[in-house]
């Protein structure tokens, strides 16, 4: 009997009626004779609300307590889903991440799965149970509960699919698949039929939150095809897999945007060896991940250093930058939270000139100023004014003819 792994996101289980509806869909998969493992996210905006509550009681909290708090959101939805299934007459059991054997490192709020001990899960499947696993969480060697980072239930699902040897992992969400751009931002965006792991990894890393980037990483590593589709049904969804033909790859596939970005500039830095290490080493030690780094050409051995980080990391980053700026003799340091990232992604741009020029001129035609540029082999990202992100996404979607379909 084949094992299928399905994941339902928070907006698909936002209330009791939706939970009952999802239970019906799971029951239908079971009726087809599959062994079914379901990963579920917290109901609706529960995680946001729990975070808000935590900040209402204290400005600072240690990661351990916060992760236990956040993990409760998925406990609620997984138990309710199991109850709804039992009510339909199906054998079902809910398991927390820890009970499902998901072992992680100790990086609270952004833990990585180190191993999965699927014994209990397999036993429950053998007993004939539909197993509902609370997403987004795991447990350390010290038995502390961790969470995997926002959107991490997708990663739970793909990791379980890999460890159980499932043929595919199905991610059910509130949109009909992976679109050419966020459909909330660009109404002309449409679902992509299939996309490679590498393109999807860039899309999700650069803002397409429809799929957690580590889920894509695991999918590629263990060769698990991932189907993203609407939980309400209708439409084939998007298949992310390794066998996408070059023909389909041969153009810009999608636009990603991210407004959870902050820019930090250290002004008047002496241009000598060791300065970059002096800044970025302590940032890394503080757990701040830095992505776009630009160092200007120096004049009279003085330069400026600019980098971007996640908005949520700004306070932590500035606490590190403040003393270092003094130590290295920088003139001043500045931060800006009114910035956003806009990226074009596609293996088609590999070794093909012209994409960058087309992107920059499409933005400049609309008077959108580019503050920083970074690239990978299959991506070009511009940092722009946050207020211009929607317009930029729309204009790039048109410039690269994404509205015309595949």
Supply the minimum distance, in Å, between the C-beta of residue 177 and ligand ADP: 7
> Residue 44 CB: number of other CB atoms within 10 A?
17
Name the binder of 372 from ligand ADP, ligand ASP, Mg ion, none, CB < 5-8 A by kind. Answer: none
Cα separation, 213 vs 219, whole angstroms: 10
Range 269-288, binding ligand ADP (CB under 6 A): none
Report in angstroms how near the CB of residue 349 gets to ligand ADP at its nearest: 17
Query: Which range touches Mg ion (CB under 5 A), out of 145-153, 269-277, 357-365, 378-386?
Result: 145-153
Comparing CA positions, the residue from 354, 345, 337 lying closest to residue 375 is: 345
Cα–Cα distance between 42 and 15 in angstroms, integer? 10
By beta-carbon proximity to ligand ADP, the closer residue of 144 and 174 is 174
Please list, in sequence order, all residues whose beta carbon lies within 8 angstroms of the beta carbon of residue 69, skipping any fewer than 6 positions away. 50, 53, 54
Interface segment toward ligand ASP; rule CB under 6 A; list 78-86, 126-134, 152-160, 369-377: 152-160
- Which conformational region is residue 318 in: left (phi greater than 0), alpha (psi within -120 to 50 degrees), or beta? alpha
Q: How far is the CB of 154 from Mg ion (least distance, A)?
A: 6
196 makes contact with ligand ADP (CB under 6 A): no
Count of Cβ atoms closer than 10 Å to residue 187 Cβ:
11
Is residue 250 a contact point for ligand ADP (CB under 6 A)? Answer: no
Q: Which CB, 35 or 212, lies closer to ligand ASP?
A: 212
Answer for the pair 98, 139: CB distance below 8 angstroms, yes or no: yes
Q: If binding is defined by CB under 6 A, does position 153 make contact with ligand ASP?
A: yes
Q: At what angle do helices 197-205 and 213-222 cross, to 10 degrees?
A: 160
Residue 151, interface with Mg ion (CB under 5 A)?
yes
User: Which element (helix H / strand E) includes 364?
Assistant: helix 355-365
Site size for ligand ADP (CB under 6 A): 19
Class of residue 206 by CB neighbours under 10 A (exposed 0-12, middle 13-18, buried 19+)? buried
Query: Is residue 207 part of the contact set for Mg ion (CB under 5 A)?
Result: no
Under the criterion CB under 6 A, does residue 104 sit at the interface with ligand ASP? no
Closest approach of ligand ASP to the CB of residue 344, in Å: 26
Residue that is written with structure tokens 């033909």 in the block: 245
By CB under 6 A, name the one of 4, 5, 8, 10 that touches ligand ASP: 10
Q: Which residues bind ligand ADP (CB under 6 A)?
A: 9-12, 41, 151, 173-175, 178-179, 181-184, 208-210, 254
Q: Which residues bind ligand ASP (CB under 6 A)?
A: 9-10, 41-42, 47, 73, 135-136, 150-154
């Amino acid at each position: 009997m084949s094992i299928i792994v399905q994941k339902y996101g928070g907006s698909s289980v936002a209330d009791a009626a939706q939970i009952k509806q999802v239970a019906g869909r799971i029951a239908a998969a079971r009726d087809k004779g599959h062994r079914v493992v379901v990963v579920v996210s917290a109901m609706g905006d529960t995680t946001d609300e729990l975070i808000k509550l935590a900040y209402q009681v204290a400005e600072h909290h240690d990661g351990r307590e916060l992760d236990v708090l956040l993990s409760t959101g998925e406990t609620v939805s997984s138990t309710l889903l199991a109850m709804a299934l039992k009510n339909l007459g199906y054998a079902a059991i809910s398991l927390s991440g820890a009970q499902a054997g998901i072992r992680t490192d100790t990086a609270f709020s952004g833990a990585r799965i180190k191993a999965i001990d699927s014994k209990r899960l397999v036993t429950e499947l053998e007993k004939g149970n539909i197993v509902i696993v609370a997403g987004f969480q795991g447990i350390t060697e010290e038995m502390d509960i961790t969470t995997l980072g926002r959107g991490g239930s997708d990663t739970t699902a793909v990791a379980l699919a890999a460890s159980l040897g499932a043929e595919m992992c199905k991610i059910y969400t509130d949109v009909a698949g992976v679109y050419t751009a966020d459909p909330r931002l660009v109404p002309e965006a449409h679902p992509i039929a299939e996309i490679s792991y590498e393109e999807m990894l860039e899309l999700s890393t650069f803002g397409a939150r429809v799929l957690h980037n580590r889920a894509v990483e695991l999918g590629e590593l263990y060769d698990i095809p991932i189907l993203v589709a609407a939980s309400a049904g209708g439409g084939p969804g998007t298949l992310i897999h390794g066998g996408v033909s070059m023909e389909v790859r041969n153009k810009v596939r999608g636009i990603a945007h991210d407004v959870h970005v902050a820019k930090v500039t250290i002004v008047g830095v002496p241009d000598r060896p060791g300065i970059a290490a002096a800044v970025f080493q302590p940032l890394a030690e503080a757990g701040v991940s830095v992505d776009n780094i630009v160092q200007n050409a120096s004049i009279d051995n003085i330069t400026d250093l600019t980098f971007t980080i996640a908005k949520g990391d700004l306070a932590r980053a500035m606490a590190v930058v403040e003393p270092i700026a003094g130590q290295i003799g920088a003139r001043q340091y500045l931060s800006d939270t009114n910035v956003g990232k806009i990226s074009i992604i596609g293996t088609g741009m590999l070794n093909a000139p012209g994409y960058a020029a087309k992107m920059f001129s499409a933005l400049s035609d609309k008077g959108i100023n580019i503050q920083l540029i970074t690239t990978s082999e299959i991506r070009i990202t511009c940092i722009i004014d946050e207020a211009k992100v929607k317009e930029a996404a729309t204009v790039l979607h048109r410039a690269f003819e994404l509205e015309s379909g595949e």
